[in-house]
Every structure is written in C-alpha cells, then in structure tokens.
Structure 1
Amino acid sequence: MATEALKRQIAGKWQNAFARLNRDQEGITGLLAFSEAWALATEFLHPRDLNGSMANKELDMVKVRLAVETLSKSKMLPILLENFLEDMRKQQYLITRDVNQFMLQYEETEDVHHIARLVYRILEWYRAWVPITELGHTILSAYTLTFQTHVYSILPPSFSRGFKKLVNATFDLAQSPVPPPWLPPTPPALQSPVPPPRPDLPLWSAFEQLGLLDRYESLISSVCYEHIEAHILETCSKRWGERMLQPLREWMTNRIVPWMVMPYARGARSAEEARSMLQGVGSRFDFHVCKTLSDLRTREIFDIIIDFPDSQPALEDLKECLQRVDQRTQLVQTLRKANRKRLLHPGADTKDILTQYVSIIRCLRLVDPPGVLLFKVADPIRRYLRERPDTIRCIVASLVGDGESGDSLVDENEPIQPLQQMQVEDYTDPSWEPEPIDAGPDFRTNKPSDVISTLVSIYDSKDLFVRELQVLLAQRLLAITDGNFDRERRNIEILKIRFGEAALQVCEVMLRDMTESKRTDQHVQSQKHMMLHPTIISRHFWPPLQAGKFAMPGQFKLIQDDYAREFHSFKQDKKLRWLPHLGTIRLEIELQDRTIPVDVPPLEAAFIELFSEKDTWTVDELIARVGSVDRSAAIKSLTTWVDMGVLKEEISNQYVLLEVAEDGSSVSTGGAPPRPARVIEEVSAVLTVEQQQAEQMRVYWKFIEGMLTNLGTLPLDRIQTMLKFAPGYDRTIEQLGAFMEAARREGLVTVANGMWKLSRT
C-alpha cells in the first residue's frame, strides 16, 4: 500500500506536468494544442524515404515553427529529439541501401564518378532529414553526429580508395573553367544565381557538410603530398645543372595553393584571412617539398659528386633543403653505402678513388661548410686508401703533374699554401663557434681546408710523402733527355711551399746533380768526342737505384773506359761507378742484306755485341760473358732480337745470327727495317718506396729467423716487440705482417691461428 505522502508527491508532480503541458489554460485547451503541436513536429521530423511517395510532401513551415515554439515552452524538446533519433535509427537502412548500390558500381568499374554521385546522394539524405534551426543547436548537433556516425559505419574500405581518387581529381578541377562530364550537376540546394568560381566548389561544400574533411584530413593531405612527390620526381630527376627549389616553390604558388583554398581556407572572407588560414598547412607542404627534393638528391648524391662542378646547383639546393629538414643522417648513410658498393673495392683504380674523394671533399664542404658531413663520410675512404700501397704514389704524381690521364687532383685555381696542421682551438677568439650538434667526439672544426692538406692527413706523417716525392722526382729527372729541367724546377719550388724547404733539400741536390751532369758531359765531349752521354749523380743523395752487376763487353766497355779517364782528369777527386743495366743505347745493326736502326736497353746491346765475335751462342755462354744476369732476363733480351729477325733459336737455348733474312728478301743499306719498330718497355731506374722498405726488411730477416729458431712459434705482435730492440727498426706491425706474408709465399715460414714458425726443409 502506498503511503499518503507518496500519493501526495505523485499527485503534485502530475499536476505540475499537466500545468506545463496545458500552459495554465482553461480546461484541457492547452493540452489539446500541445498534442497538435507534437503531432505536427514529429511528422515534420520523421525521416522520409527520398524514393517514396511522401518524399515531396510539403508542410506549412509557419505552423511547424509555431508547433516547435509550443513544444519548447512545454520543455518537451529533449523528448522530441529522443523520438527523432529513434526514428532515424529505424530509417537508416534507406541510406545503407543507396551506399551499397553506389559502392557496388564503383567496385565494378573503378570510376570515380560513382563516388562523387554517392557523396551528393548522402548529402541529399542529410538535407532531407536535417532539423530546422528553430529546434536549437543542440538538436542539430545531435542529428549531425548521429547521421555521420551511421554513414561512416556503413562505408566499406574501398570508399577510402575511391574518395582519395576523387580528391586527386580535384587538382584538375581547380584549373578547369568547366566541370568534367563525369561530375554530377549541382544539387538544387547548392545552386545559386551566381555561378561558382570553381567547378569543384560544390564538391568541397558537400565534403564539409558531411564531415568528410575532418574524417579524411590525413588522406587529403596525402593526396597533396603524392602530387608534390610525382611532380618533383618528374621535373627534377637527373637535372643537376640548374637550381630547382625556387621553381618548385613557384609551382606550389601557382598550382597547389589555389587548390589548398578549398579544403583549408574555404570559409575565408578576405585574401588576408585566407593567407592566415593557409600559413600552417602551407608551411607543412613546403617542408614536404624540401624533404622530397632532399630525398631525391640524397639518392643521386654519388652521381652528383661525379658530375661536379657541373652539378653545383643541385648541391646548393640540397644545402638549402638540409637547413629545413633533418636529413643529414640519411645523406651520410646513403653516401657511405654508395661508396662501399661503387668505390671502395679492388676493381676501382686508386686514381679514380682519389678523384672521387676530392670531389666528395669539395661537394660536402659546399653542402656543409663546418665539415661534419665530410668527417663522417670520409672516414671509411681514408682508412681504405691508407691500406692501398699506391695511394701515396698517386697523390704525389698529381702534385707534380704526372697523372696518367692528364687530370690532376689539385685545382689550379686554388692558391698554393703550406700543409695545414691540426691546431688547438682558441676559445678567446671572438669569431669562435661551437661544434655542430651532430659532430662526433673526434671531430674538429678547424680541420685542414685545402684538398692537399686533407689528402696528406690520411697518413700520420708527411715523411712518407716526402720519400715518395724523392723517388718520383728521381724517376722524372732520369727520364729527361733534352736537358730541360725547368718544369721539375718549378715543381720543386711549389712543393717547397707545401712541404717546407727542409723536406725538399734532397730534391734540390738531385736537380743540381742533373744540371752539373749536363755541364760535365759537355766538358768531356769538348775534350774528346764520344758517343756516350751518361747521367752522373751523387750516390748518397739519391734514392736507391735498381741493382745490376753485369759488365758491358767489347766496344761498349772501351767507350766506358775512355769516358771514365776523361772524367777523372776533369774531376780528379771523383770516381765513376757505372750502372750498365740502366739507360738506352741506339744501335745500327749492319748485316749482309739489311741495316736495322734500333733503340734497346744495355743488356740487349751487350748480347748482340757478342754475336759480332761468332754467330752462334748458347744462353749459358752469353750469361758467362756479361756477368751476373738473371736467366729469365737474358732469355727475354734474346727474344727481342728474335722478334726483330736478327737472331734465331736453332735448338733449345742456342741462338744463331741471321746475316741474311730468312724470307730471302734483301734490304739495302739505309732501307726500312723489315719489321715494325719495337716499343721499348720502360723500366724504372729508381726503387719505389715499397721496394726500398722490402729491401730494408730483408736485413731483419736474420733476427726473425733467430727468434723462430730459438723460441719456436710466435705471434706477430711478439715478433714486433722483439724486433724493436734491433738497431734502426722503425716498421709498423702492418708492414711486418706484409713482410711475413711475403716470406710465407716464398715457403720460409708457415702460420696457423696467428702463430708463425719456420718451415721445415
């Protein structure tokens, strides 16, 4: 049983509700009016089927607004909203049916026309069911949220793909004065007496009203990103000879910015307001332009460096892009990977590696003046070049203009300056700047700036370069036959600026020796005309020359002795020590039917001289007459005459002189030789630095042999430690390892698990 209090409470609430609905009118007049208002409002708000017979039914909007006002005064709008939303849920199948129909057509044809029609159809449903503004913002917001929630829940995954294609098509619409034939006509609700300034304006309006702009914001942005990327790849790939960043930004202004107005600034009321609304998204797209161009140039960086300096505009673009986007790490990684694949391998010539390294230095200093990128990229190249035995020789050859291809690593426009050494940073300098944030712990901002100092800094000491300079200059001086040393004198003066006068003193002595040798030869020739023109040098100031112990026979020996006597009479405190295996001799071989002029090395001349004594010689007899000659060198020299038709090998190791050519053709004196002129193989007279080091290491073989004999097996580092007690030993463990490997190939030692021992004989 209900208590009296509860009964009174219920009765009071009923009376209040009745009074609110009846609006304090007599009898139930107000209640009847409320009932009519409710019926009219629910009829108006009931979601209709656009394809049904009631779709075009029109109500008196004056009465509808009065009914809404009545319900509002009765505080029944929340109940009306709840009823309306429930009716919407019951009618949502109508929208679902249309969506499925249009999406089926799109999935069958992939025609973006069906997506556009679907958008307009959904907009028709939205406008058909939308409440009037008199119901208030709350009801309108609830309706919009409910409608969009349902639509988004029924759109299939393929809609995103189609919507993206539709947005992409708006790029062409933005530039077209008329809509394309596939674009449906503007719905009546969107038509106005003034034609839209752009054909895609109704489409963007539909996107906005349906909430598609917010929902697919990232997809819309991705369309613009892809458009930018496609344009950059199409217009900028492999085009390094002109600046591209500024034309890209002009293209953005003319092509992308007008398109951006629709999705990002459609509601702007003035140009200034539109500019303000586009500032953020425009900056984002400009960032993407810089990033895409930076990515492209990063992928092309190896070829850009090869094409330098013609590719300098591309590097300037890359520098500007890197100031806006953080792609420095990717650039370093890409270039290091390309260097490993295309440069740092045994198939690449050392000169090519050095040329590319110099280009890398110049290019990366242009992109990053502090040098952090160069420091990170150059480290593997420097380590690889340090392991190549001919690196120093190639650098030195370039310094003195002796490059094989005629190219030089040194830019003629760069001033000649001394080698720069690492200096301690002066923090009191007002122009001092801290190291860049991405610099490593070993980086120094005041690293050598000129190319030559950078190349020399590959090694710990410039003494290696000085020794190689001495060898190379010695070879070049000995190769000069016309007595003109002006070029070498100029090279020495330039090198003195770079390496200092003390390091080039030996080279100056060599140059003076050559000048003095020419003067001495002129004096000897003035006393007694001789066919011999030797080069006289100071033995103690020149690098070691190639060893040879054979003696010239016959008339060559007499010519040497005569020259030595004249020289001794001119310089009584000097003595000539002949190196008969070096040089070139010009001969005329007079045979019965022909005369053959030829330039040959001394050993070939010595052998053919012996054939003037008798016509047949064995190899052993020839070697016994000239002295200590390697058998292979002797056979090679004899083969020269066999190739020229002067000698013939009758039996193994026995040669005979052919006074008459075997083909029977007689050639008169002074006639052309029967065979083409022979190309003389040039053999360096001076030992290279590697050969000098190998010869010096042989001195220490006895120490190594004694260690391994007494102590058995030893690791390389132990051998290195013990060799340091030997007088004059200054080799690195890498040089010792190379020597031990050479000894292993000769069968002197064996190695297993890093332990060396003598081979058992």
Structure 2
Amino acid sequence: MATTALRAQVAAKWQESFNRMNKGGSGISGLMTFSRAWEVATEFLRPKDISDPASLRQYNLVDIKNAFAAVNQARRLPVMLEVYMDDIRKHQYLITREVTTYMSHYEQLMDPEIIAKLVLRLVEWYDAWAPIPELGHTIRDAYTLTFQTHLFSILPPSFARGFKALCASTLPSVSTDSVVDARPHMWAAFETLGLFDRYEALIASVVYQHIESHVVKTCAGQWAEPVLPNLRDWMSKKVVKWMFSPYARGAKTMEDAALMLQGPGQRFDFHMSKTLCDLRTREIFSIIIDYPDSMGALQDLKECLQRVDQRAELVRTLRRANEMRLLHPGADTKDILTQYVSTIRCLRVIDPPGVLLFKVADPIRRYLRERPDTIRSIVASLVGDGESGDSLVDENEPIHPLQQPETEDYTDPNWEPEPIDAGPDFRANKPSDVISTLVSIYDSKDLFVKELQVLLAQRLLAVKDGNFEKERRNIEILKIRFGEAALQVCEVMLRDMTDSKRIDQHVQSQHASIMHPTIISRHFWPTLESSSIVMPGQFEKLQAQYAKEFSTFKPDKKLRWLPHLGTVHLELQLEDRKVVADVAPLEAAFIELFSEKNVWSLDNLIPRVGSVDRSSALKALATWLDLGVLKEDTENSFRLLEVAEDPTPGARPAISRPGATNFTKNPYLAAHRACAGIAPVTDDLPPASSIHQQQAEQMRVYWKFIEGMLTNLGSLSLDRIQAMLKLAPGYDRTIDQLASFMEAARREELVMTKDEMWRLNR
C-alpha cells in the first residue's frame, strides 16, 4: 500500500508535468496543442518508402520547426528520439530489399557501375530518412550510426569485390596524361555512407595493385637506365592527383590537402620502392649476367634497398638461383667464374661495404674449390688464354699486387663499424680487386703460382715461330701481381727456350741434322708425362747422332729423350705415289717398321716400339688407315699398300681419328739429363701434368702413414689425421687437399666414412 507521502509526491510530479505540457492554459487546451505538435513532428520523422510516390508529401517547414520547438519545450525530445529510432528499425526492410535487388543484378553481370548506382541509391534513402539539422548533432549522429550499422550488416561479401572494382575503375589509365575526377558525387556518397572508414584498407589495396601492375609492366627487363625517376614522375602526375578525392576530402586549402596526403603518399611511395625491389630481386641473376649493360637496374636496387629492408631476401634469392642455374655439374667452370666476377662487380655497386657479396659468394667459393680445373681457368684468364676471348680481368683495370685481407684499424679516426647484418667473419676476407678475390678462394697463392708454371710451360712449348714476346709480357704482368720471387721459375723456363734455340743452332753448325729438339731444364719445369716408347730404325740413329754432338758441346750434360712428344714430318715414297704428313712420334715409329716388311700384326708391332697400350696403338695405326697407306686385311692384321686400292665394299671401317688429315708442322724434340724436351702433337697444349695431378701423386707418398693410423687407431676424424700427418717429414698439405685425397681414396674403396669419421674399408 502506498503511503500518504508517496501519493502526495506522485501527485505533485503529475501536476508539474501537466502544467508544463499544458503551458498554463485553461482546462487542457495546452495539452491539446502539445498533442498536435507531437503528431506533426513524429509524422515528419517517420521513414517513408521513396519507391512509392504516394507516400511522399510536402511539409511546411515553419510548422515543422514550431512542432519540434513545442516538443523540446515540453522536454519530450528524448522520448521522440526513441520513437524515431524504433520507426527506423521497423522500416529497415526497405533498405534490405533495395540492397538485395542491386546486388543480385551485380552478381549476374559483375559490372562495377551497378555498385555505383547502389551507392547513390543508398544516399537517397539516407537523405530521405535523415532528421533536419535544427534537431542538433545528437539526433543526426544517432541516426547515422543506426543507418550505417544496419547497412553494413546486410551487405553481402560480393559487395567488397564490387566496391574494389569500382574504386579501381576511377584510377588513372596509362594512356591519359592527366587525372580528371568524373565522379565527384560518388566520392561524396562514400563519405556519407561511411564506406571510406570501413573499406580504407580495400581502397589502399587498389592503389597498391595499380602501382604493382604499372611497375611490372613498364620496368620488367628494363635494366639499362634507372627507372625510379620515371616512376616518381608518374606517381606525382597521376596517382597523387587521384588521391585528392579519397584522402584529401574536406581540405580547405592546398596546405591542408598536402598535410592530409603526406601519410598515404609516403605509404604508396614506399610500396612503389618495394615493388621495384621485389622485381629486381627476382631478376637479379639475369641482371648480373647482363652486366655492365644492367647498371641502371643496379642503381635502382641500391636506392630501393636503402629504404626497403629486403637485403636478406636478395641474398636468399640469389643464392637459390646460383644453386639451381650455376652450381651444378652441367655448368662450365669458366662460366661459373665469369658469373662470379660479375656478381662481385654488381654487388659492390649495390652494397659497397661488401656484406651482401660476402654472404652470396660463400657457396660459389666452396663449389669452385671442389672443381679440379678452377685454378687452371683462373690462371688461363690471367695470361689471356681464354678460348672464347673473354677475360675475367677488365683490360682497363689497373694491375695491382695481390691484396691481403683487410684488418681492423681502430686507431683510424675515420673508422666505422661494420653494417648490422655483417657476420663475425666478414673482415676475414675482403680484398677489393677481382683477381685478389679469385685467388683468395684458396688458402695460399702457391697453388696459383705452380699452375702458372704448368700453363706457361705449355704455352712456351706451343710457340712455333720462336717469338716469346707475348709470354715475356705476361710474366712481367704476373710479377706485379704475385711478386718477383714467385715468378723466378717462369723466367728460367723462358730463358730455357731462348737457350734451346741457341744450342740447336750450334749443334746444326757442327753437324747438320733434320732433328730440331727443344731442350729444357728438368728441375725448373713442371713434371711432364713420361712414356717408354722406343723409336726404331732411322729415328733411333738420328737421336744418337744428335745426342753425340750435344755431348761434345755440353760435356757435363746428357740428353734424356721424350720420344712420345713432338711431331715428325714424313715423306713416304711408295710405288705409285708420295705421301707427306706431319704425325705423332708413335705413328712415325709404326710406319717405320713397315719398311722392314709389308705385313704386321698388332701383337708383333707393339713390342717393337716399347710398352704401348693397345688403344693407343690402334689410334696411331688409324692415321695410316685414313691416309690409305695401310690396310687392315683381318682383325688386327695390317698390310702396307705400295699401290693404292679402292675401299672394299663391306670392309671393316677404319678407326676414326679426328683431324688425322690436317697436320701442323713442328720440330721433333729431345732433352738432356736434368733437362726435358716437349712439343705439342697437334694444336692442343702439351700434356704437362696439372698441379692437381702432381699433388695427387705426391699425396700417395703419405698413404702408408694414413693406412697405419687407421689400422692402429680405428676411426679418425679428418682433423686428427691432418694433425698426425704434420709430424711426417715434408708434409705441407692443407686440410682441404687432404679431404680431396681421402675422397679419392674412398672412391677407390680403400676407406669409408660415416659421421665424418674415416676408417679402412676391410
């Protein structure tokens, strides 16, 4: 039961409210006036179906304003707002119906213009239901929130795709020079419906994709000149002007617009740099191949990397490309070296400190160390012996001595710390010129000096006109790089060639001979391949006669012949023809034996010329078969053809010998004790043993030590074997050389390895 006090309080409140709404009028006249004002105001705010013309009517704005003033004076405006919001929610099905109709049409045609029409139509609904500004921002904001909340809840997923396509259609095309905003109402509609805020990331993605498409279309494969200036000019003329509509809306002055565009402009410029950086990163292997014609692309990449942190991605991409396209058995060593040199030069343009080069070059250097012909290829390039004419060394590059790795000088006032992504071993190997970088692939330059000696020996012995000026110039250049002491042996070899010519002239003056050997000092020349060939008949007499005259001139010396090397010029007088040919000594020895009798079997021929394997013998006899001097009657039985015969149909084809009918004339060679003689059989370089072959032979001396270790101690690591071998007299090999030898022994099934432990294969 209500108390008397409560009844009195309620009655007082009721009377106060009645007086306020009645405005002190007689009876209920004031209350009737408020009722009419309420009815006019609510009817005006009630949502209308704009698709139905009958529901639309004209209102007297003076009466509307007076009605809202009366409601506000009676303090019933909040209640009216609740009624208004409730009416909005009851009529939201009209918006849903409109959106469904347009989106169904769009999903059938996929035309972004339908989305534009939908947006403009939604603005019409928004304006038709919106309260008048006189009601204040509170009601207006509440209405906008309610309208947008319902709208976003009913938009299907396909609307985002259509909205994105619509935004993309407003972007400037490549063919137009200027940007004209042909849809100002559409951008205003986006603002009204709140689509900018909701789809801000989507609008940005449209610009990002437009930038990516333009960069790829205009810059892919264009490496000669930098493209960043043109891209920035395109951005300022087209993209920035387009950005005024979505990103500088509401700006009063150009200063305000510039301030509003600053953030988006920086993001889009960053994305342009990133896109170009990604493109050049994908193209980096081909860019390196095309160097120096790709200098423009390298400059762009350098500038992009200073802004976009993608150095690690560049390293990963280039290392992966090198592994797939370069570091495999199908690639020629010279091609790998050429690409490595181009990589050095390109990455120094991109990153002068050399951190990127240090990370990219490591797999290439390790792979080149495993190739047996790497040193020879580098040395051949140093002396200009490249078959294709391409050189790893730039002719315009000054010749410098080999540079040692740089060490940190912390007392230098200009000292700077290493880049943050530099590894701990970065300073351990950073020579600046290309040759020093190539030589630093190996631990010591002694390997290169020995290979230089081998290659120089071959080149000297290949000279046919006696002009050694080119080789003399090469030695002088190599002295600058490797030092005077390292090239002393090469100077001795060059002097031997001059002395050999002088000695031969003296011997010829005492007793003329058709033999003209090249005489060299054995101790100062690389190891030459030996053979047990014995020259029969007149060749043996010529050797003995020349050796006798030489001993008279040099009584303290004795010739040691290398009869398997050189070229013999022969004139064969047969019954019906004369055959002239320049052939190898073994081929001359075989045809000399046919002066004794016309028919020989292979088994009888071989013992007469010393120890020769059957394949070499057959190859030598094939020369005379090709020239029609010999004929193979039965298998391994050969007959001299004094009279030429036509080829017998169905006869066994002769063993092919490439170039057998195209010979080059060269003197026959000899050597004295502590000396050796050699000359090329054909135009190829003489068969001097390479430095790897010599090292392999020398390492075999230490096999007994290794075998004893593994027998007594079982399994040993490579480091342990290396440490124990250092106790052996004369052992000076590196661990890499030992690893190569152990791998060769494993292939011969002498040892086996497991978990990096070596043991004998029993």
Q: TM-score, normalised by structure 1?
A: 0.91
Q: Alpha carbons of 1:737 and 1:298: their partners in 2 closer, same or farther (altered >3 Å)?
A: closer
Counterpart contact for 2:288–2:346, Cα < 8 Å: yes
- How far has the Cα of 1:323 moved from its partner? 1.2
Aligned mates of 2:505, 2:423 — CA distance in 1: 62
After TM superposition, list the pairs within 5 Å mapping 1:157-196 onto structure 2: 157-171=157-171
Residue type at the aligned position of 1:228: I
Secondary structure of 1:459 counterpart:
coil
Counterpart contact for 1:371–1:445, Cα < 8 Å: no
Larger displacement relative to structure 2 (609-618 or 396-405): 609-618
Counterpart contact for 1:318–1:367, Cα < 8 Å: yes
Secondary structure of 1:323 counterpart:
helix
Match of 2:533 among 526, 545, 550: 550
After TM superposition, list the pairs within 5 Å mapping 1:443-458 onto structure 2: 443-444=426-427, 447-458=430-441
Secondary structure of 1:171 counterpart:
coil
1:509-556 Cα offsets, whole Å, 9 max, x none, are 111111221222223233333222211111111111111232322222
Corresponding position of 1:669: none
- How far has the Cα of 1:16 moved from its partner? 3.1
After TM superposition, list the pairs within 5 Å mapping 1:116-155 onto structure 2: 116-155=116-155
Q: Alpha carbons of 1:143 and 1:639: their partners in 2 closer, same or farther (altered >3 Å)?
A: same
Task: Identify the structure with bigger relative contact order (alpha carbons < 8 Å, sequence gap 6+).
Answer: 2
Counterpart contact for 2:172–2:239, Cα < 8 Å: no
- How far has the Cα of 1:639 moved from its partner? 2.2
Secondary structure of 2:163 counterpart:
helix
Aligned mates of 2:411, 2:142 — CA distance in 1: 69
Residue type at the aligned position of 2:662: A
Aligned mates of 2:567, 2:158 — CA distance in 1: 85
Count of residue correspondences: 732
Match of 1:592 among 553, 571, 575: 575
Mapped pair 1:308 → 2:288: no
Match of 2:555 among 563, 572, 575: 572
Corresponding position of 1:539: 522
After TM superposition, list the pairs within 5 Å mapping 1:9-88 onto structure 2: 9-24=9-24, 28-88=28-88
Counterpart contact for 2:406–2:431, Cα < 8 Å: no
Aligned mates of 1:633, 1:50 — CA distance in 2: 104
4+ residue segments displaced more than 6 Å = 173-179
Mapped pair 1:240 → 2:232: no
Corresponding position of 2:188: 205
Aligned mates of 1:530, 1:280 — CA distance in 2: 93
Q: Alpha carbons of 1:489 and 1:316: their partners in 2 closer, same or farther (altered >3 Å)?
A: same
Aligned mates of 1:695, 1:174 — CA distance in 2: 69
Q: TM-score, normalised by structure 2?
A: 0.91
Q: Alpha carbons of 1:589 and 1:741: their partners in 2 closer, same or farther (altered >3 Å)?
A: farther
Residue type at the aligned position of 1:326: D
Corresponding position of 2:410: 427
Corresponding position of 1:623: 606
Q: Alpha carbons of 1:646 and 1:716: their partners in 2 closer, same or farther (altered >3 Å)?
A: farther
- How far has the Cα of 1:140 moved from its partner? 0.5
Corresponding position of 2:731: 729
Unaligned ranges ≥5, structure 1: 180-196, 666-673
Aligned mates of 1:570, 1:473 — CA distance in 2: 28
Larger displacement relative to structure 2 (590-599 or 139-148): 590-599
Corresponding position of 1:345: 328
1:466-517 Cα offsets, whole Å, 9 max, x none, are 1111111111111111111111111111111111111111111111111221
Matched-pair identity in % = 65
- How far has the Cα of 1:327 moved from its partner? 1.4
After TM superposition, list the pairs within 5 Å mapping 1:310-329 onto structure 2: 310-329=293-312
Match of 2:619 among 636, 649, 652: 636
Secondary structure of 2:642 counterpart:
coil
Aligned mates of 2:363, 2:748 — CA distance in 1: 32
- How far has the Cα of 1:597 moved from its partner? 1.5
- How far has the Cα of 1:737 moved from its partner? 5.2
Aligned mates of 2:173, 2:460 — CA distance in 1: 76
After TM superposition, list the pairs within 5 Å mapping 1:111-510 onto structure 2: 111-171=111-171, 198-444=181-427, 447-510=430-493
Aligned mates of 1:23, 1:380 — CA distance in 2: 95
Unaligned ranges ≥5, structure 2: 649-658, 665-680
Counterpart contact for 2:298–2:350, Cα < 8 Å: yes
The two structures, once aligned, show a CA RMSD in angstroms of 2.7
Aligned mates of 2:343, 2:360 — CA distance in 1: 9
- How far has the Cα of 1:750 moved from its partner? 6.0
Residue type at the aligned position of 2:58: E
1:294-321 Cα offsets, whole Å, 9 max, x none, are 1111111111111111111111111111
Aligned mates of 1:262, 1:307 — CA distance in 2: 43
Aligned mates of 1:333, 1:230 — CA distance in 2: 24
Corresponding position of 1:696: 698
- How far has the Cα of 1:54 moved from its partner? 4.5
1:22-65 Cα offsets, whole Å, 9 max, x none, are 44556544433322222211111111111234543011111211
Aligned mates of 1:484, 1:609 — CA distance in 2: 33
Counterpart contact for 2:47–2:91, Cα < 8 Å: yes
Residue type at the aligned position of 2:163: F
Secondary structure of 2:688 counterpart:
coil
Corresponding position of 2:662: 677
Secondary structure of 2:534 counterpart:
coil
Q: Alpha carbons of 1:744 and 1:124: their partners in 2 closer, same or farther (altered >3 Å)?
A: closer
Counterpart contact for 2:406–2:428, Cα < 8 Å: no
Aligned mates of 2:173, 2:286 — CA distance in 1: 39
Q: Alpha carbons of 1:446 and 1:353: their partners in 2 closer, same or farther (altered >3 Å)?
A: closer
Q: Alpha carbons of 1:255 and 1:55: their partners in 2 closer, same or farther (altered >3 Å)?
A: farther
1:225-267 Cα offsets, whole Å, 9 max, x none, are 1111111111111121222111111111122112111101132
Secondary structure of 2:699 counterpart:
helix
Corresponding position of 1:612: 595
Corresponding position of 1:194: none
Counterpart contact for 2:178–2:238, Cα < 8 Å: no
Secondary structure of 1:357 counterpart:
helix
Aligned mates of 2:49, 2:709 — CA distance in 1: 105
- How far has the Cα of 1:650 moved from its partner? 3.0
Larger displacement relative to structure 2 (18-27 or 104-113): 18-27
Q: Alpha carbons of 1:367 and 1:565: their partners in 2 closer, same or farther (altered >3 Å)?
A: same
Corresponding position of 2:100: 100
